[in-house]
DNA sequence: TCATCATTATACCAACTGGTCTATTAGTAC
DNA sequence: GTACTAATAGACCAGTTGGTATAATGATGA
């Protein structure tokens, strides 16, 4: 049972990957069906409301994936400066590869749909807020003030989303690297 | 008569606006034709290579629009810290409005197409680089070092793109505000 | 065994996609 | 005027879109 993924999970994983790379409107159900090998009948069985419903589950899947990525690094490194820096350096390596197929975690979908689908927008916002709360927690533990932790977490989130965007547009990890190097300066005041 | 702009310019302006809001795949030629009132025949007369060609001109249009926005503020304020801060505060007001229809300047298209259209990706990259060079120039004039100016300009760009993304997802100017407030700290070292 | 329900598999749909083609009209130069 | 080109207009196209309908199959439990 442990490794037997069912059709629903496969659909979510494939959709999550494709939406990250090409966005909501850039991916058709056809793409998801072909890439997953799961027929349309099954898709509409598990997601009766169709593409939008699948996209929301895909966003939540991406959200959890990113949470795990952040937390894994944070558990190893106590100092928030070093932990956040390490996380961004790691991203710079991934997105520096010319053949990266990761895309903006949820930024693309968020930007495409913020005027057209409230349910999707909300799902994206929740993802962003959860990531933010991880940064807040890490900063609070290191005795940053409540206010400072909150504002810094926003900035960190923006730097990461913006940095990924720059790096994948340039097909080059340099932007994320430059950003990682500024983290100590930014976190100097508690 | 009042509208001395020709059909080509109208098409570029409408396309530019729609692509910013819903991205490349989220906008059909139909939308552009309906919104502009200009028939398909004209569109393919001015842009024989179709949607992709129009998108590239739309990106360049957005690029120039943003350049003017940045420069206008920069000409008024000498101090780069205050100038950049003012620019981001201004963005926070625009994107804080619940009914903002501006979208990520070019981030959405860049993220959607970086794996599917080299010409579009390149146009996006050029836009980003030109914006960056404006920041570099401003910093150099204020005696920031060559190296520092370059790395800071990357960070500023990431903060703005990321901040806009957070603000329009949250339908709230707060993220951009929080970012603007960190600018002095970030620019403390020359 | 049979009955029940979950799942899979397609055929089909109207609307729309980007794009082509041809006909017509407006504008300009001579 | 005439000739030539720029621009407009929209019918048409093949392929795709998200979504529906229905039937067949698989699994489960009584």
Average pLDDT over every residue of B89-93: 93
pLDDT-derived band at B101 (thresholds 50, 70, 90) equals confident
Instruction: Give the C-alpha separation, B75 to A128, whole Å.
Output: 35
Q: Which protein residue's Cα is closest to nucleotide C22 at C1'?
A: B41
What's the pLDDT score for residue A5? 67
At B111, list the tokens.
């993220």
pLDDT tops 70 at residue B3: no
The Å distance, CA of B102 to C1' of C14, is 33
Instruction: Give the C-alpha separation, A60 to A56, whole Å.
Output: 6
Give DSSP secondary structure letters for A81-129. Answer: HHHHHHHHHHHHHHHHSTT-----SSHHHHHHHTTT-HHHHHHHHHHHH
pLDDT-derived band at B26 (thresholds 50, 70, 90) equals very high
What's the pLDDT score for residue B17? 95
What's the pLDDT score for residue A4? 44
What's the pLDDT score for residue B96? 79
On average, the pLDDT of chain B sits at: 93
- Tell me what percent of the residues of chain B surpass a pLDDT of 90: 89
**pLDDT tens-digit profile of B45-76?**
999 999 999 999 999 999 999 999 999 999 99
Averages of pLDDT over each 10 residues, chain A, 190 residues: 65 96 96 93 94 96 96 94 95 83 92 96 97 96 95 97 96 95 90
- Among residues B165, B129, B171, B179, the alpha carbon closest in space to that of B20 is found at B165
What are the angstrom distances between the C-alpha of B70 and each of A4, A152, A159, B84, B155? 54, 25, 20, 8, 16
The pTM assigned to this predicted structure is 0.92
Give DSSP secondary structure letters for A48-61. Answer: TT-HHHHHHHHHHH
What's the pLDDT score for residue A6? 87
What's the pLDDT score for residue A190? 72
Q: How far is A139 from chain B (nearest CA, A)?
A: 16
- A155 to B155: CB separation less than 8 angstroms, yes or no: no
Protein-covered nucleotides on strand C (Cβ within 7 A): 6-11, 16-23
Q: Nearest Cβ partner of B124 from A21, A112, A169?
A: A169
User: Contact at 8 Å (CB) between B112 and A139?
Assistant: no
Q: How far is B112 from chain A (nearest CA, A)?
A: 4
- A22 to B25: CB separation less than 8 angstroms, yes or no: yes
What's the pLDDT score for residue A97? 78
């Amino acid at each position: 049972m442990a490794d037997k993924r069912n059709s629903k999970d496969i659909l979510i994983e494939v959709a999550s990957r494709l939406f990250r790379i090409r966005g909501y409107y850039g991916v058709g159900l056809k793409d998801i069906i072909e890439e997953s090998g799961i027929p349309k009948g099954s898709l509409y069985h598990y997601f009766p409301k169709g593409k939008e419903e699948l996209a929301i589950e895909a966003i939540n899947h991406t959200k959890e994936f990113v949470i795990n990525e952040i937390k894994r690094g944070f558990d190893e490194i106590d100092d928030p400066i070093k932990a956040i820096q390490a996380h961004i350096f790691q991203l710079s390596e991934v997105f520096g590869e010319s053949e990266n197929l990761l895309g903006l975690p949820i930024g693309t979908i968020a930007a495409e749909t913020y005027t057209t689908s409230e349910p999707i927008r909300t799902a994206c916002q929740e993802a962003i807020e959860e990531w933010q709360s991880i940064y807040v927690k890490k900063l609070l533990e290191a005795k940053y003030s409540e206010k400072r932790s909150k504002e810094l977490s926003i900035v960190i989130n923006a730097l990461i989303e913006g940095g990924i965007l720059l790096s994948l547009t340039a097909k080059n990890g340099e932007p994320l690297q430059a950003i990682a190097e500024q983290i100590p300066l930014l976190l100097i005041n508690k």
